[in-house]
Structure 1
Amino acid sequence: MISDKLVLPFAGAVICLLVLSSKQVRAIVAKYFQSPILNDKANTETKEEKPKQTMQKPSPLMITPEQVKNWDDRPWRPFRWPYHQTMSIYKLDINHWLDMDKYYWHYIQEKERIWHKYGRENIDWLPESEDACLELMEIVTEHMVDRYPLLFTVLADKKEKGKIIRNELTKEILDMTLPLKEHPLMYVTKMAKEDFYVVLKNPTDGLHYLVAAAVPFPGGSFGINHKIGKHLDIIHDDVPYYHEKLKKSMERWFEKLDEFSPVERASWYITWDHKLKVNNIYQLPKFVPNLESDMKSTDPKDFNIRVERQTLRRLPRSRAIIFTNHPIFYSIDEMKDEPNVPSLLRKIIYEAPESIIKYKNFQFIRDHISGYLDSLINRQKDLGLISDDTPVKTLPTYPFAHWTKTDFDMHNGWSNPKFPEKKPDYRESMQAETKFGNE
């Protein structure tokens, strides 16, 4: 039976540096935050004055609402072996801070439904977050208008008083002029399909706290009301290895993040549905008493990988740290011709560290899907995609599919070349899946 535990994508975003030495940790800081490796000598030396940095603006992507209906997001494949708990962060191309895809309408509709049904259980804020949330709204608005000129139209720009824009995808007019008619997080929720977490350092104790969040799609069985106002240690309480390995490094990591060095990463788990608020793999017996029989009655080829695509960036004015999470679903079936992917999945669900297996509930589903994964592995050998001697290891194109860089299409985004006639599309399934009492 699945345990009644909290599963928080925000926690996964900072499961970092757990198996690294202090020297390696400092090297990573230098690499990703473009600062000298921190040591006593570096701190005492006189540094040359650097040119003033400016926030990078995204390049316009001239896609229309009609084209978005067939647009695919980047194909994430964040599967690693050996499986070590590391941050696995990459410098974020600001063009991909808030990505677009054909599921946009479904995500926005689900956000509205969840807000009306659950309210501040999933979207909440503390008074001290006011400035940060306002700045977040302004930066999200600016990004969407700059990145997608044909999807978001500025109807009026009243400068310091704010903007009025039209979302050309939903046809909703968003009046963000002061005084605001809704909370800034509500406007952010109506523009981007990502979840947003707002973290601020408390000036009294110098520690970081979650002060606001718009998270309709946590995937697990919790509400933001359990996390709002809590310190990072509380938020990450259930994360494997956090207290043993990561706790001391966490505050330093947040302290070093600057507004010019946003990063991204991805985590994942397996489920047999496309629900956004609570996936079946993390359902509770009190809501779904027949969960195991439901799982076992599902064809293994219908199981999905839910990728949690995450970013971290700092806002320049409020100094808030913004964490975003965007769930994306990929069926195991659509990855069956990608060399070593089935082999990686099978190895990880059985041989990953036991705490990770438990955290992601792999033990609940692995025996049901292992035969299917074995058949895909043998199929890849028959097709010559892999051999008996092919090592099972992290993909050379990690964290993306091997065809990502060569198959970009300005009208379709990143399209799997193995689906030339009918691209993977889960919109119909998303709409049809049964919602339970906590969804």
Structure 2
Amino acid sequence: MDIRKLDAQNWLTLDKNYMDEHRVRNQLLHEKRSEVLQCLPESVDACHEALEEVSDFLCERFPNNFDMNIKNNQKIVDNCMTGDKFTVSGRDPNEGVADALEAAVRLTMEDLSVLMMNGEGEYYLAASASLFPTGWTVQQRIGWTISQLHGPVPLWHQHVANSVDKFLARLTPTSPMERSNYFIEVKRPDEDLTEILYRPKALCEKELVNPLPSEILVRRERQTFRRLPRTGAIVFGVKTYLTPLEELPMQELNNLAKEMRSWPDYVGEYKGKHLWGAKVLEYYQKQVEEGKIEPEKYED
């Protein structure tokens, strides 16, 4: 799982892509709200607590960008970059169940999901604002257990499922954790940022079987896990980073090529290697020939 302790000061992030991604989030929440945002009725308290935790963190960590005010017995968070204002506490009890989580994800650069435990002791997706998905939508999978969500992942049930269950059970409000994940994405030349980030079907279009290096992106996910102190639900955050293959540091390119060669066929198929693998290795070999990378030595 590659789980490691999360520095609590770095739970949520803010970088130079904030405004561009904020515009994408606004567009998706306006045009595809039901596809990217779903909350089951039992998640309402956890979603409100998640908004409180997100708002308090952002105001403390980034005081030049976020501000908290008290007005008419309500806490209101002000996004100084966008002008958005959201009521954090003292919210109207008649508002929609998804409104609190929507407010939280409009503030962050992270997608946010709420995991709760069902009667069988399994964690399930009780609420989610997943605007930058890879091969699925929240509308399809709301209510699914962790095991169901990872059904397509090779060897998940054999090698990882028990570890994940134990990890989630041990998570406490004072022990947030994180892990990293990555995919290779192939984009069409005419795609805009919304189309690149919102990938509900596939990261690699089948017709793009001979992509240029400029059309290949390394799509990283920084995944965070934090248990909420009041409701006990778990907030699962995902920050997406996009790096064009041509901008990948040479050491990372070397590591990618080495890892690709180690994949069994079923892992390569799951990751779409047959669509982009030859081009990545061709680009890698070019860097080796130009002396930019010291080639790895492999036994025959």
Structure 1 unmatched runs, 5+ = 1-86, 285-290, 393-439
**1:178 maps to which residue?**
91
Tell me the SS of whatever aligns to 1:155. strand
**2:77 maps to which residue?**
165
Counterpart amino acid of 1:349?
A: M
Runs of 4+ in 1 over 6 A off after TM superposition: none
Q: Select 2:45's aligned residue among 127, 131, 143.
A: 131
**1:208 CA displacement:** 1.4
Q: Select 2:198's aligned residue among 259, 277, 288.
A: 277
Q: Select 1:209's aligned residue among 124, 149, 163.
A: 124
Counterpart amino acid of 2:268?
A: I
Counterpart amino acid of 2:48?
A: L
Structure 2 unmatched runs, 5+ = 188-192
Number of residues of Structure 1 aligned to a counterpart in Structure 2 = 287
Q: Larger % of strand: which?
A: 2
Q: Select 2:57's aligned residue among 113, 135, 143.
A: 143
The answer to whether the 8 Å contact 1:271/1:280 transfers is: no
**1:146 CA displacement:** 0.3
Give a deviation string over 1:20-54, Cα, whole Å, max 9, x none. Answer: xxxxxxxxxxxxxxxxxxxxxxxxxxxxxxxxxxx
TM value normalised by structure 2: 0.87
The answer to whether the 8 Å contact 2:36/2:138 transfers is: yes
**1:313 CA displacement:** 1.1
Give a deviation string over 1:240-279, Cα, whole Å, max 9, x none. Answer: 1112223333322211111111111111111233511118
**1:152 maps to which residue?**
66
The answer to whether the 8 Å contact 1:271/1:279 transfers is: no
CA separation in 2, counterparts of 1:147 and 1:136? 16
Alignment of 1:17-416 (within 5 A): 87-156=1-70, 162-176=74-88, 177-179=90-92, 181=95, 183-202=99-118, 204-220=119-135, 222-273=136-187, 275-278=196-199, 282=203, 291-292=206-207, 294-296=208-210, 298-336=211-249, 338=250, 340-379=251-290, 382-383=291-292, 386=294
TM value normalised by structure 1: 0.61
Between 1:237-246 and 1:177-186, the stretch displaced more is 177-186
Q: Which one has the largest radius of gyration?
A: 1
CA separation in 1, counterparts of 2:184 and 2:120? 39
Give a deviation string over 1:180-205, Cα, whole Å, max 9, x none. Answer: 65511111021001111111112x32
After superposition, the CA RMSD in angstroms is 2.2
Identity of aligned residues (%): 27
Counterpart amino acid of 1:188?
A: A
Larger RCO: Structure 1 or Structure 2 (Cα < 8 Å, ≥ 6 residues apart)? 1
**1:283 CA displacement:** 5.4
